[in-house]
């Protein structure tokens, strides 16, 4: 894929929960493990070091038992307001299939929380092109699971 064709996804949701609670679900590995990933996926590994330069490591297990490793780095954390992190889907050999820059914002909405997820793909190789096609659906299903958790 050429750089001009790299996809971006923006999803907006409003959650019936205070901003601090929604933010906590993004930075607490026990909570994130319960909602991150598409429907039917679970996260046997979910490690988050939430600080600038801190790493994230999530291993999503699909319904068929396949493990999809995701690694990344946190770049910006503004408590209950904003998270910026890169995420990389990698294959069994450690090759980066997709790299995305993710910006998540949290805003007050009359006792609720308006959440915006913006994911911009910055690199795609090999099988990553297939995964990119499901990015919008994957994020949407993750946020459905987050809503159920909250």
Cα 33 from Cα 51, distance rounded (Å): 18
Q: Which tens digit of pLDDT belongs to each residue from 16-36?
A: 999 999 999 999 999 999 999
Domain locations along the chain: 3-149
In the predicted model, residues of the chain with pLDDT beneath 70 are: 1-4
First to last CA, the chain: 37
Please give the pLDDT value at position 4: 54
Fold of 3-149: Alpha-D-Glucose-1,6-Bisphosphate; Chain A, domain 4 (3.30.530)
Query: What local confidence, expressed as pLDDT, does residue 1 receive?
Result: 46
At residue 6, the pLDDT reads 84
Go through 104-130 and write b for each residue having 16 or more CB atoms within 10 A of its CB, e for each that does not: bebeeeeeebbbebbbebebbeeebee
Q: Which residues does 5 contact at the CB level (< 8 Å), separation at least 6?
A: none
DSSP 18: -
The structure's pTM equals 0.92
Residue with tokens 């998540």: 104
Closest-CA residue to 81 (of 107, 56, 59, 63): 107
Spell out the SS3 assignment of 105-136.
Answer: EEEEECCEEEEEEEEEEEEECCCHHHHHHCHH
């Amino acid at each position: 894929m050429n750089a001009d064709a790299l996809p971006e996804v923006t999803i907006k949701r409003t959650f019936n929960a205070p901003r601090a609670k929604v933010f906590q679900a993004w930075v607490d590995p026990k909570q994130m493990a319960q909602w991150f990933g598409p429907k039917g996926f679970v996260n046997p590994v979910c490690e988050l070091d939430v600080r600038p330069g801190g790493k994230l490591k999530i291993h999503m297990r699909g319904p068929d038992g396949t493990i999809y490793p995701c690694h990344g780095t946190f770049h910006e954390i503004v408590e209950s307001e904003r998270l910026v992190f890169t995420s990389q889907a990698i294959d069994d050999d450690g090759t980066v299939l997709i790299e995305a820059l993710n910006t998540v914002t949290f805003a007050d909405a009359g006792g609720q929380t308006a959440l915006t997820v913006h994911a911009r793909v910055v690199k795609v190789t090999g099988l990553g092109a297939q995964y990119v096609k499901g990015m919008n659906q994957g994020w949407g299903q993750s946020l459905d699971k987050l809503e159920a958790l909250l």
